[in-house]
Amino acid sequence: MSSSWLNEKLGHNFFFKVEALQKVGAFKARGAMNCLLRLQEEDKLPPKIVCFSSGNHAQGVAFAARTLGIEATVLMPRYASDLKKQATKNYGANLIITEDRLEAEARVEDFIKAGAYFIHPYANPFVIEGQGTACYEALEDLELEMDFISAPCGGGGLLSGTYLAARQKNSRAQIIGSEPVLANDAARSLREGRIWGFEHSPNTICDGVMTLKVADITFEYLRRLDYFLELEEKDIIYWTQWLIHLLKINVEPSSALAMAAVVKLIQEQSFSSKKNFLIILSGGNISAEKQKLIWQDDCLSTTL
């Protein structure tokens, strides 16, 4: 998707890969499905799978399990969106609510010991491959060469896959990663040269990127990115509202991160020529409670 009005206002070309229209309303269906299909190809499809998630990965795993006819157990922290909890149950998963993310991660071990296959939300090469198909498809469809590709960072699976897809397509595009300032574990890790993590889930409106820390495998890909930007909550909300308005679709704040990062980069770099940006809008699952937070102040009366 694109917006000619937005292109004119900002002086560049923006192309949006809209994962709100994907199964489960987010890119996470790609990674979970690819993981199970790869196991199936190797005649290793397990009878039971387990995962932990704050929302979209839970739905992706539940959807993939139902599609292939296997049992799924999902552990979600209590603060996860009620919308995402219910959607996960509707896909047929056994849902277990934990006090926080740490408890969810710890309790997964019991299911692994009992024989369930664990689908990590990002520290799994099959999952990373699947997430990368969003970028790969977009580059296949677009006839123009992209100068930049932007995606948000939670655990780094989407960005890792995006990097791999761009290089697989021999794209010369520079890759932009982004996080909220309030959930900047990856940014801090990149600055320190080692993985740094939160002890408790960060308090950001972007519930899709509330991971405690990135994984070894994703950290190595994040270190290869060209830019990694940190965004304030007000800027994330601003672009959430504007993208919903301009594109007429649901846009999670976690998705709007990628657009906010692009705008920040444009302001910092002052490009002398028009650039082509591919922006991966990672999902569009927004609870009523989150909608109230997004729209409690009017950003649309502010001119771009």
pLDDT tens by residue, the chain, 304 residues: 999 999 999 999 999 999 999 999 999 999 999 999 999 999 999 999 999 987 799 999 999 999 999 999 999 988 888 888 999 999 999 999 999 888 988 899 999 999 999 999 999 999 999 999 999 999 999 989 999 999 999 999 999 999 999 999 999 999 999 999 999 999 999 999 999 999 988 999 998 898 899 999 999 999 999 999 999 999 999 999 999 999 999 999 999 999 999 999 999 998 999 999 999 999 999 988 899 999 999 999 987 7
The beta-strand segments (E) located in the chain are 13-18, 48-52, 71-77, 94-98, 117-118, 148-152, 174-180, 227-231, 276-281
Q: What is the predicted pLDDT for the residue at 84? A: 86
98 and 155 belong to one structural domain: no
Give the residue from 84, 102, 118 where a domain finishes.
Answer: 118
158 and 218 belong to one structural domain: yes
Q: What is the predicted pLDDT for the residue at 303? A: 75
41 and 95 belong to one structural domain: yes
φ, ψ of residue 215 in degrees (nearest 5): -100, 165
Cα gap 186→174, rounded to integer Å: 18
- Asked, for residue 181, whether it belongs to a domain, the answer is yes
- Asked, for residue 225, whether it belongs to a domain, the answer is yes
Dihedral-angle region of residue 176 (phi above 0 means left; psi in -120 to 50 means alpha; beta otherwise): beta
- Asked, for residue 300, whether it belongs to a domain, the answer is no
55 and 146 belong to one structural domain: no
Closest CA to 61 of 34, 99, 42, 83: 34
Under a CB-based contact definition with an 8 Å cutoff, are residues 247 and 277 in contact?
Answer: no
Question: Which tokens in the block code for residue 185?
Answer: 């574990």
Structural domain of 160:
4-26+125-294
- Asked, for residue 303, whether it belongs to a domain, the answer is no
- Asked, for residue 260, whether it belongs to a domain, the answer is yes
Cα gap 84→93, rounded to integer Å: 12
134-167 in b/e form (b: 16+ CB < 10 A) is: bbbebbeeeeeebbbbbbbbbbbbbbbbbbbbbe
211 and 73 belong to one structural domain: no
Note the pTM of the prediction, 2 decimals. Answer: 0.95
Identify the CATH number of the domain in which residue 254 sits: 3.40.50.1100
φ, ψ of residue 178 in degrees (nearest 5): -155, 150
Cα gap 85→95, rounded to integer Å: 8
Q: What is the predicted pLDDT for the residue at 81? A: 81
Q: How many domains does the chain have?
A: 2
Give the DSSP letter of residue 283: B
- Asked, for residue 284, whether it belongs to a domain, the answer is yes
153 and 268 belong to one structural domain: yes
Cα gap 50→132, rounded to integer Å: 22
